[in-house]
Amino acid sequence: MPTLLSLFVLAPDDAAPLAGGAAGMKRSDGGPTAPARILVVEDNRIVARDIQRQLRHVGYEVVGTAVSGEEAVRLALATRPDLVLMDISLEGAMDGIDAARVIGASCPVVFLTAYADDETVYRAGQSAPFGYLLKPFDEIQLRTSIEIALRRHEAENRVRRAASQHAATLASLSDALIATDEAGRVTFLNPAAEALTGWVRADAADRALEEVLGAGLAPSDGPTTIVGRDGRRTRIRHCSALVRDEDGGITGSVLILRELPDEDPVVPALSDGGRGRANQDLLVTMADGISQPLMAIVTNAASCLRWLQAGNMNVEEAFRAVERIVTDGHRVGDLVSNIRTFAQAAPPNLADFDLQETILEAIARLRHEPARIAVSWETAFDLRSRWALGDRGQIAGVLHELVVTGLGALGPSARAGTVAFRTCPDASEGVVVGIATFGASRPDFEPIRPPSPIDCPGLGGIGMAICRSTIEAHGGRLWSGPGTADGTSVYFSLPGATARDHGETHA
- H/E stretch holding 339 reads helix 315-344
- Confidence (pLDDT) at 74: 93
Judge whether 252 lies within some domain.
Answer: yes
Confidence of residue 183 (pLDDT cuts 50, 70, 90): confident
What is the per-residue pLDDT across 234-250, written as a single tens digit (0 to 9) for each?
Answer: 888 777 777 776 666 77
362 and 326 inside one domain: no
Mean pLDDT, to the nearest integer, of 370-395? 88
Asked whether residue 117 falls in the same domain as residue 253, the answer is: no
pLDDT-derived band of residue 2, with 50, 70 and 90 as boundaries? very low
- The residue among 156, 176, 203 that closes a domain is 156
Q: What is the mean pLDDT of the chain?
A: 77
**Is residue 190 assigned to a domain?**
yes
- Contact between residue 307 and residue 314 where contact means Cβ atoms under 8 Å apart: yes
Burial 84-93 (b: 16+ CB within 10 A, else e): bbbbbebeee
Higher pLDDT pick, 309 / 139: 139
Do 390 and 500 lie in one domain? The reply is: yes
Is the Cα dihedral 193, 195, 197, 203 positive or negative? Answer: positive
User: Residue 86: which CATH number?
Assistant: 3.40.50.2300
- Do 222 and 250 sit in the same domain of this protein? yes
> Has residue 335 been placed in a domain?
yes
Please indicate, yes or no, if residue 245 is contained in any of the structural domains: yes
The pLDDT, as a whole number, for residue 359 is 95
CA 291 to chain centre: 13
pLDDT confidence of 308, banded at 50, 70, 90? low
Greater pLDDT, 288 or 416: 416
Q: Is residue 324 domain-resident?
A: yes
Q: What is the mean pLDDT of residues 44-68?
A: 93
Q: Render pLDDT for 7-26 as a digit per residue (tens, 0 to 9).
A: 333 333 333 333 334 455 54
Q: Which of these three, 283, 308, 341, is where a domain ends?
A: 341
Residues 319/354, Cβ–Cβ less than 8 Å: no
- Say which CATH number the domain at 294 has: 3.30.450.20
- The CB density around residue 59, as the number of other CB atoms within 10 Å, is 14
pLDDT tens by residue, 442-496? 666 655 555 554 444 444 566 777 788 889 889 999 888 776 667 888 899 999 9
Q: Is the pLDDT of residue 113 over 80?
A: yes
Same domain, 196 and 146: no
Which of 93, 123, 156 represents a domain boundary (last residue)?
A: 156
Residues 202 and 134 in one domain: no
Is the predicted pLDDT of residue 283 greater than 70, yes or no? no
d(CA 164, CA 13): 11
pLDDT band at 85 (very low <50, low <70, confident <90, very high): very high
Same domain, residue pair 311 and 196: yes
Of the given ranges (279-293, 303-317, 407-421), which has the lowest mean pLDDT? 279-293
Please state which of the ranges 89-93, 163-167, 203-207, 448-452 shows the lowest mean pLDDT. 448-452
Same domain (yes/no): 212, 337: yes
Q: Please report the pLDDT score of residue 380 as a whole number.
A: 92
Q: What burial class does residue 429 get, using C-beta atoms within 10 Å of its C-beta: 0-12 exposed, 13-18 middle, 19+ buried?
A: exposed
Helix (H, G, I), strand (E, B) or coil at 8: coil
Read off the pTM. 0.44
DSSP 3-state assignment of 366? helix
Report whether pLDDT(168) > 80.
no
Does residue 201 come out as left (phi exceeding 0), alpha (psi in the -120 to 50 range) or beta?
Answer: alpha
* Residues above pLDDT 90, as percent of the chain: 27
Say whether both 314 and 186 belong to one domain. Answer: yes
Task: Give the distance from CA 223 to its chain's centroid.
Answer: 28
- Closest alpha carbon to 440 in 507, 505, 487, 386: 487
Number of structural domains, the chain?
3
In this predicted model, which residue has the larger pLDDT, 329 or 226?
226
Q: Domain span at residue 210?
A: 167-341
321, part of any domain? yes
pLDDT of residue 358: 95
Q: Which residues contact 34 (CB under 8 A, 6 or more apart)?
A: 24, 25, 27, 61
Residue 161 domain flag? no
* % the chain with pLDDT above 70: 68
Model pLDDT, residue 82? 93
Which one has a higher pLDDT value, 506 or 403?
Answer: 403
The answer, yes or no, to whether residue 81 has pLDDT greater than 90, is yes
Same domain, 361 and 480: yes
Residues 176 and 49 grouped into a single domain: no
Q: Provide the pLDDT for residue 200.
A: 92
Confidence (pLDDT) at 63: 94
15 located within any domain: yes
Residues 139 and 175 in one domain: no
Q: What is the pLDDT of residue 15?
A: 35
Identity of the highest mean pLDDT range in 165-174, 183-192, 327-336? 183-192
